[in-house]
Amino acid sequence: MRMIMTPRQQVATAALAVLIVASVLSMPRTLDAPREQRPLTRSAGLVVAQPAAARELAPEQVRDLTYN
C-alpha cells in the first residue's frame, strides 16, 4: 500500500518543517548564558489569594433558564 500526499498536505508539511527548523535555530546554543547577559533584576510575579469556595444556591434561588 502506497501513501501519496496531496499537494495541500505537502505544502502544509513543508511549512511546518520550516517553522520547526527556524524555531530550533533561534534557540540559544547553551542553557547557561554568561552573567553579563542575564538580567540584574527578576520580574516579580503576581501573588493572588485563592478564591473562597462558592456555596451552592438553594433551589428557590436558581432561575429557570429554559426557553419555552
What global pTM score does this model have? Answer: 0.40
| Three-state DSSP class for residue 17 | helix
Question: Taking Cα atoms as reference points, which of 26, 1, 5 lies closest to residue 14?
Answer: 5
Confidence of residue 60 (pLDDT cuts 50, 70, 90): confident
d(Cα 13, Cα 19) in Å, to the nearest integer?
10
**Which residues, in sequence order, are CB contacts of 5 under 8 Å at separation 6+?**
13
- What pLDDT, on a 0 to 100 scale, did the predictor assign at position 14? 96
d(Cα 49, Cα 36) in Å, to the nearest integer?
36
Q: How many CA atoms lie within 13 A of 25 on its CB side?
A: 6
